[in-house]
A and B are shown apart, each in its own frame.
Chain A
Amino acid sequence: MTVRRLLVLAAVVVVGVLLETTVLGELRLAGVRPDLLVLAVVAVAMASGPVSGAAFGFSAGLVADLLFDLPVGVSALVYTAVGFAVGIARVYMTSQLPLVHLALVGAATLASVWCSGLLLRVFDLVSWETVARSGPLVALYNLLLAPFVYPVVRALAERVPAKPAQRW
């Protein structure tokens, strides 16, 4: 992990959190806002694999948790799992079709929102109804933003590889 990579990925988290709390906070559709951070986690995991995905997910989730007044660690837990799972799945995702990547983003968002909801439900902080409803809505909203966010973050993560490229 180079310093440059650390800075770039940290910048992605900071910009994502700022967008979520300012612009997107104002643009709630049907009561939900998109989850930019999970988009970023999927992008980084697709670019750099399960370990980077999990580590990035953990950091992004922790920052988000600290800023939002939910039990701290819930997003960290969920994003870690999402990052790892996507990192594993990328080996099987050989297609460059945008549709395949969109489907991945949608599925990852749905899983992430539902898992967070489930955890919060355990703490009795949300109703089943909210959890069930939020999943598909956030996933849809994320799909709308994916064409703008996903390629950018992915390209960024690929530009600053974890280890210098090996020459053969």
Chain B
Amino acid sequence: MLYERPRRARAVLALLLAASIVVITIDFRQRQGGPVDRLQRVAIAVFGPLQQGASAVVRPVGNLVGGVAEIGSLRSENRHLRTEVAGLRARERTYLDVLGENERLRGALRMARRCGCRTVGASVVARSGSNFQLSVTIDAGARQGVARDMAVVDAGGLVGRVTQVTADYATVLLVTDPTSGVAATLASGKAPGIVKGRGEELLQFQPVRAGTAPRLGDSVVTRGYQGGVFPAGLPVGMVERVDPAGEASLVPRVDVRPYAALGTLEVVAVVVDRPPAPSPAGG
């Protein structure tokens, strides 16, 4: 029917709006272990393989476009030769891809090993589709030993924190997300603080103690503490800017550029086990 009766339409609207609000309330009251949380895990488990497939298709397509155009121009050439060339190219591309992946994976593992942590490697299968949140989905989950609140690193440094886990996939909240806050300290001296995301490329370091004067180029690393989520000493980023106006104030505004290649994340490592006790000497 072209025109639905207005009364029914309004009833449907009211019902759906009420349902949304109920869902928001349930989710907010019971972030972990609630019915919405379970539904969320089902959704990630269902979409994970699809996203993995889609990513696998999308990634080589860009590389292949050039190759396909070339093949088209060789139509008059011997068909056998053409397929062989294409096959070899594809294989070479795969080879280079695997080589690069291997390199990145090694990097991520090396990074984690520096702090003496046990890690699990994973690929990024999807990025958050929301404009207000920065997260990625990775293809490692509970079955690989991943659990909520674990630290995730890449070859450069800290990537984020695991927020949701299914059997085979996990969601990682990036350090750049506005809701992300990580206990950190300056590598050069003892200046504990918090690294906060701002929803953009740079992070913000907020020293806890007044009078801390971070310098340009200082490294910011995670600070381990009893019951804390992150192992100590994971590199987070480099101080890129100290607000000149803020220097006079008690809490200077410090911009930190993350070491992790958050824009082009492909391979990461999840820190599943941190060293027994954070040693003050550091490693």
A-side residues, CB < 8 A to B, are 14, 17-26, 31-33, 35, 49-51, 54-55, 57-58, 61-77, 80-81, 84, 87, 91, 113, 116-117, 120, 123, 125-127, 130-131, 134, 138, 162-163, 166
Contacts and interface: CB of A to CB of B under 8 A. Distances in A.
B21 to A, nearest CB: 7
Contact of A67 (B12, B17, B43, B58): B43
Nearest to A121: B132
A36 to B, nearest CB: 8
Nearest to A138: B131
A73 B23 contact: yes
Contacts of B17: 77, 80-81
B142 interface: no
Contacts of B20: 58, 61, 73-74, 76-77, 80
A111 B178 CA distance: 22
B19 interface: yes
Contacts of B54: 18-19, 21-23
B132 A127 contact: no
Contacts of A19: 54
A64 B129 contact: yes
Contact of B13 (A50, A70, A126): A50
Given A68-B128, A68-B130, A22 B24 contact: no
Interface string B1-29: 11110001100110011011111110110
B51 A64 contact: no
A104 to B, nearest CB: 19
6 contacts: A49-B3, A51-B9, A54-B13, A68-B128, A73-B25, A127-B199
A127 B133 CA distance: 12
A149 to B, nearest CB: 14
A55 B19 CA distance: 11
Contacts of A64: 129-130
A121 to B, nearest CB: 9
A76 to B, nearest CB: 4
B163 interface: yes
Contact of A25 (B8, B27, B39, B128): B128
A33 B28 CA distance: 26
B24 A14 contact: no
Nearest to A18: B54
Given A50-B13, A69-B164, A80-B13, A20 B24 contact: no
Contacts of B130: 64, 68, 70, 75
Given A69-B171, A72-B27, A76-B23, A54 B12 contact: yes
Interface string B27-61: 11000000010011011100100110011001000
B23 A127 contact: no
Which of A57, A73, A134: most chain B Cβ within 10 A?
A: A73
A54 B10 CA distance: 10
Nearest to A62: B23
B137 interface: yes
A27 to B, nearest CB: 10
B200 interface: yes
Which of B12, B13, B50, B133: most chain A Cβ within 10 A?
A: B13
B131 A67 contact: no
B131 A33 contact: yes
B104 interface: no
Contact of B58 (A23, A65, A73): A23
A67 B47 contact: yes
B163 to A, nearest CB: 5
A120 to B, nearest CB: 5
A125 B196 CA distance: 12
Given A73-B25, A127-B199, A130-B199, 12 more contacts: A21-B54, A21-B137, A49-B9, A67-B40, A68-B133, A69-B133, A72-B23, A72-B27, A73-B36, A80-B13, A113-B131, A125-B178
